[in-house]
Structure 1
Amino acid sequence: MKLRANGIDIEIEDSHAGDLTGRPVVLLIMGLGMQLVAWPPALVQSLVDAGYRVVRLDNRDIGLSQKFDHLGTPNLVWASIRYRLGLGVKAPYALHDMASDALAVLDALGVAKAHVLGVSMGGMIAQRVALAAPQRVLSLTSIMSSSGARGLPQAKPQVMRVLLSRPAGKDLSSVTDHYVKLFKAIGSPGFPVDDAELRERITAAAQRNFNPAGVLRQMVAIVADSRRASELSGLCLPTLVIHGKADPLVPFACGEDTARRIPGATLVGIEGMGHDLPAGVVQRILEPLVPHLKASQATQANA
């Protein structure tokens, strides 16, 4: 379903569109270059079964949401050099804008408050949502993400090489091969995914949309968001930080740092979890997630 939100077209999926029964809403925000279809059906269904209305969106510049090709393709190498030198990075748009998109989706749906959950870059956007409008956030969940603070451990070099490489061609097979290689590099060593299943899922996503220029614009938005870490101490809301202890892209120390910066945040580390959401990881995420959501609601009700 397409919505007009924050002045742009945003594709969403709403588990209970038009629902007037008052189910609390969980807003799911995906990571870099990932579409709403990347949310595992088992996670979405489990949240629905627990009594929640689940809203997913394609972030701007990806999936079926509006593209920003008119802003050009940024030079990621130059942006990275400026970041390492401590210089400002100019992005085509900011994580602030992407957080505004998420809030505008809630506005368009008539949702006053929601539990906000994001993975990877989506966790950064979720943090930005909480900072921008804490009165709209029932709870915050940041998964396999980071505060963006300088000095945190970086991805393993071999992972960065794959992340920054390009498919051998523009055909579907080449694109699929590239992303299979990437997901194998960042995947959970304790929860391996069947090759055929992984290829099928990636092929379906690439057929839905493939926009590498949008991914680059999102990457620069991440690099440019340099002040978020220092702002997180101002948050005062129920926060759960979940992170894989075997994450080769965003090391576990990044999750520890995020939890340390947000007052009262709970940190859950998952052994064997990398930077993906295979079935075994989903089950381990749900174990602390559902109680976190319910406890947050109880706190709000008694406030």
Structure 2
Amino acid sequence: MPHVRTDDGVGIFFEVYGKPVLPDGMALDCLSVLDALGWREAHVIGHSMGAMVACKFAAMFPQRARSLTVICGTGGGWESVPLAPRPLWLGLQLLFSRSAARRAAVDVQFHYSPATLRHKESAHAATQHERLLEEYIAAAAGGDSAQPLHGMRGQLWAVWKHRLRGREARAILATRIPCLVIHGRDDIIAAPRHGQRLAARLHCPFLLLDGAHFVFRESAALVNGLLRSLLQEETPLSQALQRATGQAPAAALPPTAKLEYRLRNYHLMGPGDLADG
């Protein structure tokens, strides 16, 4: 059974250091955690800003990464700024949200696809949107509050300053570890084209799934199945992808080509599973 450690920063770094910490510094913290645990290597998985930290870790300490999975990641800078009208409008609403209920109403629209939010088990059941609102508000009431303002400022600064330089991408490629980029088709925080570009730089498969920024919940069974294959090292990544998607890798593509797997209308988990986490 693999051991798992998570690093979920929502402002703690700012409080500890008194200033924003960039993904490079967070990667150093991850190394310290591995050393403290006595782990020589780790399968590195990162989501959103964590995807940037994961890439930095694999580039800075390539001998310590056993695989790299990037979920809803970008290359930082302008790629981290959602310039489409909908995310800009939601961002303004988020900025002026003064209650947990209002914050939750905006967060769920940022995190999940419209199709997920509209879904209901039956004609008389609550929509997924209503159930997620209840979940988010209950979490806030239970002390799992929204990200503090100083944490949000620090995170925005970190993703804006992040860059994966050419030499860093080459350092990851030189390790020949399995790499995978997963993205939600309807992600309005990290546009799918940025994930596609990152996959091309890492010369690895790009898996585009139905879902948004929280695609790991919306397509949980598929994402977890692929991660389990990586963690347990049961089969090569190409075989795991083929088994999960039903699509064989294109053998005619050169080794440096981007392999893209598109799944349409792929729903593997029920609404109850989503609402329960």
TM-score, normalised to structure 2, is: 0.69
Tell me which residue corresponds to 2:144.
Answer: 208
Cα contact 1:159–1:249 (8 A) shared by 2: yes
Cα contact 2:27–2:56 (8 A) shared by 1: yes
Cα contact 1:69–1:213 (8 A) shared by 2: no
The CA distance in 1 between the partners of 2:135 and 2:80, in whole Å, is: 34
SS at 1:102's partner residue? helix
Tell me which residue corresponds to 1:58.
Answer: 8
Cα contact 1:146–1:258 (8 A) shared by 2: yes
- How far residue 230 of structure 1 moved from its aligned partner, in angstroms, is 6.1
The CA distance in 2 between the partners of 1:235 and 1:278, in whole Å, is: 24
The CA distance in 1 between the partners of 2:102 and 2:78, in whole Å, is: 33
Alignment counterpart, residue 218 of structure 1, candidates 143, 151, 155: 155
Tell me which residue corresponds to 2:168.
Answer: 231
The CA distance in 1 between the partners of 2:167 and 2:89, in whole Å, is: 30
The CA distance in 1 between the partners of 2:3 and 2:191, in whole Å, is: 31
Cα contact 2:14–2:21 (8 A) shared by 1: no
* Residue identity matched to 1:184: Q
RMSD: 2.9
Tell me which residue corresponds to 2:187.
Answer: 247
Tell me which residue corresponds to 1:21.
Answer: none
Cα contact 2:75–2:194 (8 A) shared by 1: yes
Tell me which residue corresponds to 1:144.
Answer: 72
SS at 1:56's partner residue? coil
Q: Do residues 294 (structure 1) and 229 (structure 2) align?
A: no
Percent identical? 28
Query: Can you give the 5+ residue segments of structure 1 that lack an aligned partner in the other structure?
Result: 1-50, 72-91
Q: Do residues 179 (structure 1) and 129 (structure 2) align?
A: no
- How far residue 205 of structure 1 moved from its aligned partner, in angstroms, is 4.8
The CA distance in 2 between the partners of 1:136 and 1:163, in whole Å, is: 37
- Structure 1 residues 112 and 215: alpha-carbon distance in aligned structure 2, compared to 1, 3 A threshold: same
Alignment counterpart, residue 205 of structure 2, candidates 259, 262, 266: 266
SS at 2:113's partner residue? coil
Tell me which residue corresponds to 2:31.
Answer: 103
Tell me which residue corresponds to 1:70.
Answer: 18
- Structure 1 residues 159 and 112: alpha-carbon distance in aligned structure 2, compared to 1, 3 A threshold: same
The CA distance in 1 between the partners of 2:223 and 2:104, in whole Å, is: 24
- CA deviation profile, 1:1-56 (whole Å, cap 9, x unmatched): xxxxxxxxxxxxxxxxxxxxxxxxxxxxxxxxxxxxxxxxxxxxxxxxxx321212
Tell me which residue corresponds to 1:115.
Answer: 43
- Structure 1 residues 222 and 296: alpha-carbon distance in aligned structure 2, compared to 1, 3 A threshold: farther
- How far residue 232 of structure 1 moved from its aligned partner, in angstroms, is 1.6
- How far residue 241 of structure 1 moved from its aligned partner, in angstroms, is 0.6
Q: Do residues 283 (structure 1) and 215 (structure 2) align?
A: no
- Structure 1 residues 52 and 194: alpha-carbon distance in aligned structure 2, compared to 1, 3 A threshold: farther
- How far residue 185 of structure 1 moved from its aligned partner, in angstroms, is 3.5
The CA distance in 1 between the partners of 2:189 and 2:18, in whole Å, is: 30
Q: How many residues align?
A: 221
- How far residue 147 of structure 1 moved from its aligned partner, in angstroms, is 2.3
- Structure 1 residues 205 and 106: alpha-carbon distance in aligned structure 2, compared to 1, 3 A threshold: farther
TM-score, normalised to structure 1, is: 0.64
The CA distance in 2 between the partners of 1:197 and 1:189, in whole Å, is: 13
- CA deviation profile, 1:278-300 (whole Å, cap 9, x unmatched): 6441112123322233348989x
Cα contact 1:123–1:145 (8 A) shared by 2: yes
- Structure 1 residues 232 and 216: alpha-carbon distance in aligned structure 2, compared to 1, 3 A threshold: same
